[in-house]
Amino acid sequence: MNVNPSQHRPVGMQQTGELPTFEERDLPAGRHQFHKERLMSQIHHDRLPDAGAQASPSPRNPFLRRAVLLPAATALVGALAVGVLLFAPGDAGDLEDSRASGPVLTTEIGAADPKGARPLLDRISLAAADTRAPRPGAGQYVYIETKTANTHVRTVDGKASLVSEPLHTRRSWRSPDGLKGWLIEPGNTGPEGITLGGTDEKGNVPTPHLGAPSHDYLAALPTDPDALLRKIYKETEGQGSGPDQQAFTTIGDLLTESWPSPQLTAALYKAAAKIPGVVSVNSATDAAGRRGVAVARLDETSGQRTEWIFDSKTLTFLGERTVQVEKAAADGELIKPGTVVFTHAIMNRAFVDAIKELPARQS
């Protein structure tokens, strides 16, 4: 990825600066009409499914941003059945064509080592267990700030092209019980954002689960790696493109858009080391331009490799990206190896006293 690595700052520190630029490599740019229902569909769509694939039985966390290579019309599927995203007054008009698409994000594909994942994850888990994390006070919210971008297929007059949305800042606030929340993300929400809460299509208050965890839910998860992995396999059975890939994806979601305790984080890394097919990658760059090493797994169905990126020295978790490493079965002429399908860098995690409140800048 043609970015300049920047100095890493520990998670929990406010980070600012210009975003890196990405070059276009023989793939067309254009503009993409983004509908608000696309965000709603993210709850149910983790990635581009096979034509005959069944939808996941459990809705995913609406705060999560995952790789979805879908034409605009397809992105609306299932949106009307979801009742947990409530748009604030005036937001709908702000979403009209608010996302400009740009050059496709590309990167060099790092070398994978099938034997390197376990020792690397052992070191990462030890580093994670040795960190400190604050606890929320009464009435506080979990604030997570990231840099993120997706790549998607755009179809106009029957002609498909591949475009990437600009890297942008995404901010979310969640109450520890998961019942209240707010999201501000250019292109997916209006400037004031959207509230996430309310009831599901049956009028029930959603119950936290692995696909949509609350901070309190995470605190109750087992920290024994074997017990944790058994729970993940059991509760994600039948989801995704296979049990091992889905387990890896689930752990990545928990690491990326949640704030697990140091003990749980260490257990998640140890559990990931037990998943077949997990490899280490010698070099990967996150959405903020920070270069590090990665732990990854190839989804053989899509040819995409999901990479968890860590600082090479401190082993701090920086973020996640999904890279096309093999020719795609569908849209193979568009989605070439080296395409960055999804990229997500953690810039700040903190507890704040109110929705829309930003944490104090830390030096």
CA pair distance 355, 161, nearest whole angstrom: 38
> In 257-302, where does DSSP find H-type helix?
262-272
Report pLDDT digits (tens) over 67-114: 434 333 333 222 222 223 333 333 333 333 333 345 789 899 999 999
pTM of the full predicted structure? 0.74
- What is the CB neighbour count within 10 angstroms for residue 117? 23
What single-letter amino acid sits at 131?
A: T
Amino acid residing at 7: Q
Mean residue pLDDT of the chain comes to 76
More confident residue, 186 or 16: 186
Whether 343 shows a pLDDT value over 80: the answer reads yes
Bridge pairing between strands 168-174 and 141-156: antiparallel
- Return the percentage of the chain with pLDDT > 70, whole number: 70
- Which pLDDT band holds residue 362 (cuts at 50, 70, 90)? low
Residue 32 burial (C-beta neighbours within 10 Å; 0-12, 13-18, 19+): buried
**Each residue's pLDDT tens digit, 16-33:** 333 333 333 332 222 222
